[in-house]
């Protein structure tokens, strides 16, 4: 830690910034900075270090490297909890694994490690949806408010993964209740922004689009560095315009993808693939900018949907058949894709029922629009 603090001092000198200058920019008292740099304080508060690093290191990669180094040097329980929460928001899932491995014998932190380890299964696509729900059902979690926030968020996200949007609501209510009980301001703000983006999606699915956009706007204005969450908020705003203003939807979806790229989020990440798949859905469903689809980064279901509408229908249906074998589940989206490819009115009506049954009234609009067009043609 002492060596890292020396680098902080050198960087301040390089930027020709005094500690009072840093205090003015960050709000962190210069005495706190001096004590940390001179070694009088064993370990600076994580949130203070985060603010200082943001001012001293303009280069995102260099800042990321410094932050990760600090995180892995942390020994204080509260700092480790803050680091875990922060890493969750910025997508540093490997750092979460390293922290858990390094401090696995810490009895005070085991209850947090237990849920973060499960969260990382989903983050890294190791296990998600029903298999993850089944595993969580067999685990006893602490009644600690922070643990309960994480547990109920993960249950909510897992319900999202199995397209059961209606089932997200009771878990979201429990998250909100426990968030109010978290006393540390930094931890609370980190968990809150994570919860708020999922809450915005619940508003989206319920067609409460104004509230959805208000929540996303608040996330985007937040001072907290959380690139994955802020990119998700941009994507959510884009999705809110999909059925009313395709160009505005495209604008926000492209911004969400660019935001990930600018913040060094890998193209192999689950989020990047998800955003590209949503953009592909917009293009395929509306039949425009098909040449802009990045087929290397989208889900197989969207590739099959494209193939069915604009390529080889038999090949597309074969792809959907393989998808069903692999996932053992037909989502409302896939039912909609197959039914639209086949011009199957009964299938479209069933897809509409499925969207509404799981509480996704927003994407039910896609089915309604196609049924309306078929009705016009028949008329």
The burial class, CB within 10 Å (0-12 / 13-18 / 19+), for 295 is: exposed
Q: Inform me whether the pLDDT recorded for 317 exceeds 90.
A: yes
Residue 18 lies in a domain: no
pLDDT of 243-263, one tens digit each?
999 999 999 999 999 999 998
Q: Is residue 328 part of a domain?
A: yes
Least confident of 105-109, 352-356, 373-377: 373-377
Asked if the structure places residue 367 within a domain, the reply is yes
Whether residue 377 lies inside any domain: the answer is yes
Q: Give the model's confidence band at 378: pLDDT under 50 very low, under 70 low, under 90 confident, else very high.
A: low
Question: pTM (2 decimals)?
Answer: 0.90
Task: Report the alpha-carbon distance of residue 316 to residue 377 in Å, rounded.
Answer: 25
Taking alpha carbons only, the member of 308, 329, 325, 309 closest to residue 317 is: 308
Residue-level length of the chain: 379
pLDDT in tens, 97-152: 999 999 999 999 999 999 999 999 999 989 999 999 999 999 999 999 999 999 99
The structural domain count of the chain equals 1
Q: CA of 90: how far to CAs of 64, 75, 95, 227, in Å?
A: 10, 21, 11, 5
Average pLDDT over all residues of the chain: 94
Q: pLDDT of 57-74, one tens digit each?
A: 988 889 999 999 999 999
Q: What are phi and psi of 203, to 5 degrees?
A: -60, -40
pLDDT band at 327 (very low <50, low <70, confident <90, very high): confident
Q: What angle do CA 323, 228, 29 make, to 5 degrees?
A: 160
For the ranges 169-173, 275-279, 303-307, the lowest mean pLDDT is seen at 169-173
- Residue 209, domain member (yes or no): no
Confidence band of 362 (pLDDT split at 50, 70, 90): very high
User: pLDDT, tens digit, for every residue of 190-232?
Assistant: 999 999 999 999 999 999 999 999 999 999 999 888 889 999 9
Give the model confidence (pLDDT) of 10-48 as tens digits: 999 999 999 999 999 999 999 999 999 988 988 999 999
Domain extent for 332:
299-379
CA distance 135 to 154: 12
In a domain, 318, yes or no: yes
Q: Are 231 and 197 in contact (CB under 8 A)?
A: no
Provide the percentage of residues in the chain whose pLDDT is more than 70. Answer: 99
- pLDDT confidence bin for 303, thresholds 50/70/90: very high
Provide mean pLDDT across the span 285-291.
98
112/353 Cα distance (integer angstroms): 39
CA-based Rg of the chain, rounded to a whole angstrom? Answer: 23
Instruction: Give the chain as a 3 state SS string.
Output: CHHHHHHHHHHHHHCCCCHHHHHHHHCCCHHHHHHHHHCCCCCCCHHHHHHHHHHHCCCHHHHHHHHHHHHHHCCCHHHHHHHHHHHHHHCCHHHHHHHHHHCCCCCCCHHHHHHHHHHHHHHCCCCCCHHHHHHHHCCCCCCCHHHHHHHHHHHHHHHHHCCCHHHHHHHHHHHHHHHCCCCCHHHHHHHHHHHHHHHHHHHHHCCCHHHHHHHHHHHHHCCCCCHHHHHHHHHHHHHHCCCCCHHHHHHHHHHHHHHHHHCCCCCCCHHHHHHHHHHHHHHHHHCCCHHHCCCCCCCHHHHHHHHHHHCCHHHHHHHHHHHHHHHCCCCHHHHHHHHHHCCCHHHHHHHHHHHHHCCCCCCHHHHHHHHHHHHHHHC
- Degrees, nearest 5: CA angle 214-216-217: 65
Inter-CA distances, 290 with 64, 138, 147, 293, 317, Å: 36, 45, 44, 6, 20
Going 139 to 79 to 178 to 174, the CA torsion angle's sign is: negative
Is the residue at 91 inside a domain? no
The pLDDT score that the predictor gives to residue 351 is 97
pLDDT of residue 259: 95
- pLDDT for residue 376 is more than 80: no
Could you tell me if residue 336 is inside a domain?
yes
Neighbouring residues of 235: CB distance < 8 A, sequence distance ≥ 6? 252, 253, 256, 274, 275, 278
CA angle 316, 318, 322 (to 5 degrees): 115
pLDDT value, residue 341: 97
Predicted confidence (pLDDT) at residue 379 exceeds the cutoff of 80: no
């Amino acid at each position: 830690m002492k060596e890292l603090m020396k680098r902080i001092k050198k960087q301040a000198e390089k930027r020709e910034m005094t500690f009072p200058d840093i205090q003015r920019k960050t709000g962190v008292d210069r005495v706190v900075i001096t004590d940390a740099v001179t070694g009088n304080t064993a370990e600076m508060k994580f949130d203070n270090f985060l603010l200082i690093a943001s001012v001293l290191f303009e280069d995102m990669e260099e800042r990321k490297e410094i932050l990760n180094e600090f995180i892995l040097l942390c020994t204080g329980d509260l700092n480790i909890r803050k680091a875990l929460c922060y890493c969750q928001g910025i997508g540093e899932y490997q750092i979460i694994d390293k922290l858990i491995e390094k401090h696995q014998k810490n009895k005070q932190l085991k209850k947090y490690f237990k849920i973060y380890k499960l969260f990382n299964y989903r983050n890294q696509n190791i296990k998600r949806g029903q298999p993850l729900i089944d595993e969580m059902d067999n685990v006893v979690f602490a009644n600690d408010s922070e643990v309960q926030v994480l547990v109920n968020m993960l249950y909510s996200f897992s319900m999202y993964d199995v397209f059961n949007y209606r089932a997200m609501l009771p878990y979201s209510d429990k998250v909100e209740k426990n968030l109010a009980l978290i006393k540390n301001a930094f931890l609370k703000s980190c968990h809150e922004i994570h919860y708020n983006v999922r809450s915005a999606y619940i508003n989206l699915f319920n067609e409460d689009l104004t509230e959805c956009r208000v929540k996303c706007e608040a996330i985007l204005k937040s001072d907290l560095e959380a690139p994955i969450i802020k990119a998700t908020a941009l994507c959510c705003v884009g999705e809110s315009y999909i059925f009313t203003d395709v160009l505005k939807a495209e604008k926000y979806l492209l911004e969400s993808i660019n935001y990930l790229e600018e913040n060094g989020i890998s193209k192999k990440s689950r989020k990047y693939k998800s955003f590209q798949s949503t953009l592909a859905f917009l293009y395929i469903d509306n039949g425009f900018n098909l040449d802009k689809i990045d087929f290397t980064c989208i889900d197989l279901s969207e590739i099959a949907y494209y193939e069915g509408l604009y390529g080889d229908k038999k090949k597309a249906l074969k792809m959907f058949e393989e998808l069903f074998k692999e996932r053992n589940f037909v989502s409302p989206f896939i039912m909609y894709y197959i039914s639209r490819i086949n011009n199957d009115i009964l299938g479209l009506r069933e897809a509409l029922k499925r969207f509404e049954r799981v509480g996704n009234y927003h994407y039910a609009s896609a089915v309604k629009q196609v049924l309306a067009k078929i009705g016009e043609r028949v008329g």
